[in-house]
Structure formats: C-alpha cells, structure tokens
C-alpha cells in the first residue's frame, strides 16, 4: 500500500488572508502535500459570513508558499466559462511552478446558482455543461486552434497560449453514472464521498486510471483529559458528517487513515474541526504524516 498523500482542506471563510497564508505555510512545513479551498459565492449554511473568491485566494497562497500544491474541492463549473478557467489554470500553473491542480464539479449547491442568476440549476444541464467544459479546457491547453460546437458551449477558431508546464492534474468527485464517465475520461483523481467508501470495489472499474481521494473532518484529541470536551464540541458542530468525522488521538486518527488507505484511498483532504490552528497542523504533521509508512 502506497503512503497516504495528505492535503489540508481549509474553506476560505471566517479567516483573514494573513490567517490563510499562515495556515498554508504551517501545513507546508508540517509535511502536507497540498492545500485545497472551496468555491462558493456565499458560504453554504453560513451565507452571512465573509469569505474570499476561490481562484484569487489560490493565487495568493501559491505566491506565499514554495512546495505546497494548490487546488479546490471543488471549483463550480457553472461559475466560469471554460475558456476563462483554462486561462486561469495555466496562469496559476506557470506562476506556481507546476503546483496547481484543477478540482472541478458541477455544483454542490444548486440554489446558489438560482440566487445569483448564474446558470440553469437543473442537474442534467450542469453535468452536461461540465462534460463540455472539460473537453474545451483540455483542447485549449494543447495550444492548438480549437473549434467546438456543443449543446452548451461554442468556440470558433479559438487558441490560447502559453500551454501548461505539465498536464494539469484534474480531480472530479462523485459516484453517479454520468460523473463516473467524466472521471474515467478526464480525471487524475476521483474524490469519493465517504458514504460510498464501501462501494469502491464496485465503482473502481468505472473510474478508469484515476486515483481515489476522500475528504474527512478530523478532531484531534491531544490527551485523555480532553477527549470528552473535544468529542462533544466536534459532534455538536460537525456530527452531520457521520462517518466522515474522525475523532481521536493522533495514533487513533493514524489508524483510521491507514484503514482508508487499505480500502483504496490514496489521498486524504483533512478538514480540521478546530479550524486548523498552527499547533494542530504541527501535531498532525509530527505524529501522523511523519510516522506514516
């Protein structure tokens, strides 16, 4: 079993920009491979909280780190024309020295699209547009002249330069048949909902060559005296995540991560229940990442 690839998931809400940079730098120093942001115009279930735009924030974090990969869980396809996103991705790729990964989906909060009047929120329309967007972006990344006629998108003799420094890794999440077809055709990473972990053997053939990742919420218990308090707080805030909420000491969390690795997960996006203060990131790095086999 390959060693686990750990990324920090940190939604860019309730934090100042300097706080996000500090957490990204601490994650980098603590052994995390990457940092992933979210993509919404208003944070779900916290619409009155301040948050920053996803691409701009990723650019700033890339500029303020050296080795950390930068990505999203996930960009909403409907919010950007693929020609614009293709150019943004290449720009980030060049600016970061090849550290950008494109996590993209067809929108987890359809009501958001209605609220802001952006696009058709019907599932069929959104997944159909994502399929075309992926084709358009990959065609534009070739540097060739592109003409494209789809149900949702049209290009006529379009060309974009420069080309990426490498094949930009693509992450797509989900388990539905149309989504799995996109994973098989376009994705380097397949983000699996924890509710579907038991279905990995069944779904694995549909994922093609894509490697499997998952997102988990982690509440680290620093010592036994703190267990009851940490458990109560994490459960009250994030109990809705069910099996996706991991509560325990570093050895206990490490064991849970190893169990996910044994089931085919090669990357974990860690969302910390205490909002990832430096001491939590350092403890996770020292006691879990550094000791992983």
Q: What is the pLDDT of residue 1?
A: 54
CA distance 86 to 139: 10
Q: Which domain-ending residue is among 209, 226, 241?
A: 209
Q: Are residues 194 and 225 in the same domain?
A: no
Q: Output the CA angle 11-14-19, nearest 5 degrees.
A: 80
The whole-number mean pLDDT for each consecutive block of 10 residues of the chain, a chain of 293 residues, reads 88 94 98 97 86 97 98 96 98 98 91 87 89 98 98 97 98 94 97 87 94 96 93 90 91 95 95 96 96 74
Q: What is the pLDDT of residue 111?
A: 87
Is residue 63 one of the residues assigned to a domain? no
Q: Are residues 220 and 164 in the same domain?
A: no
Is residue 139 one of the residues assigned to a domain? yes
Q: What is the pLDDT of residue 146?
A: 98
3-state secondary structure of 182: helix
Q: Are residues 226 and 193 in the same domain?
A: no
Q: What is the pLDDT of residue 2?
A: 65
Is residue 164 one of the residues assigned to a domain? yes
Q: What is the pLDDT of residue 196?
A: 86
Q: Are residues 179 and 233 in the same domain?
A: no
Q: Are residues 90 and 188 in the same domain?
A: yes
Q: Which domain-ending residue is among 209, 227, 255?
A: 209
Q: Are residues 85 and 204 in the same domain?
A: yes
- The gap from C-alpha 86 to its chain's centroid, in whole angstroms, comes to 17
Q: Which domain-ending residue is among 158, 182, 209?
A: 209
Single pTM value for the model: 0.95
Q: Tokens representing 185?
A: 């055709």
The residues with which 51 forms a beta bridge, in sequence order, are 13
- Phi and psi angles of residue 226, each rounded to the nearest 5 degrees, phi first: -95, -5
Q: Which of 4, 81, 88, 12 is nearest to 269 (CA)?
A: 4
Q: What is the CATH number for 135?
A: 3.20.20.30
Is residue 51 one of the residues assigned to a domain? no
Instruction: Print the domain residue range for 204.
Output: 74-209
Q: How many domains does the chain have?
A: 2
In b/e form, how buried is each residue of 161-181, taking b as 16+ CB within 10 angstroms?
eeebeeebbbbbbbbeeebbe
Q: What is the pLDDT of residue 240?
A: 84
Q: Are residues 216 and 102 in the same domain?
A: no
């Amino acid at each position: 079993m390959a060693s686990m690839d750990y990324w920090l998931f940190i939604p860019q809400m309730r934090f100042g920009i300097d706080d996000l940079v500090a957490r990204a730098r601490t994650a980098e120093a603590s052994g995390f491979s990457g940092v992933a942001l979210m993509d919404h115009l208003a944070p779900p279930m916290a619409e009155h909280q301040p948050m920053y735009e996803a691409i701009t924030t990723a650019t700033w974090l890339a500029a303020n780190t050296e080795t950390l990969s930068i990505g999203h869980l996930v960009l909403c396809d409907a919010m950007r024309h693929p020609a614009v996103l293709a150019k943004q991705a290449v720009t980030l790729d060049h600016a970061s020295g090849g550290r950008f990964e494109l996590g993209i989906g067809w929108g987890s909060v359809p009501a958001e699209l209605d609220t802001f009047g952006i696009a058709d929120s019907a599932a069929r329309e959104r997944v159909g547009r994502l399929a075309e967007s992926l084709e358009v972006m990959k065609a534009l990344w070739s540097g060739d002249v592109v003409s494209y006629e789809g149900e949702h998108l049209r290009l006529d003799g379009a060309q974009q330069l420069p080309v990426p420094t490498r094949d930009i890794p693509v992450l797509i999440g989900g388990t539905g048949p149309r989504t799995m077809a996109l994973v098989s055709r376009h994705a380097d990473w397949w983000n699996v909902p924890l509710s579907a972990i038991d279905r990995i053997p069944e779904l694995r053939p549909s994922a093609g060559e894509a490697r499997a990742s998952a997102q988990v919420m982690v509440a680290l218990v620093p010592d036994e005296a703190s267990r009851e308090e940490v458990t109560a707080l994490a459960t009250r805030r994030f109990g809705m995540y069910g099996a996706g909420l991991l509560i325990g000491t570093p050895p206990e969390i490490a064991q849970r991560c190893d169990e996910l690795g044994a089931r085919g997960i090669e990357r974990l996006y860690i969302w910390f229940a205490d909002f990832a203060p430096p001491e939590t990131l350092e403890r996770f790095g020292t006691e879990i990442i550094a000791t992983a086999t």
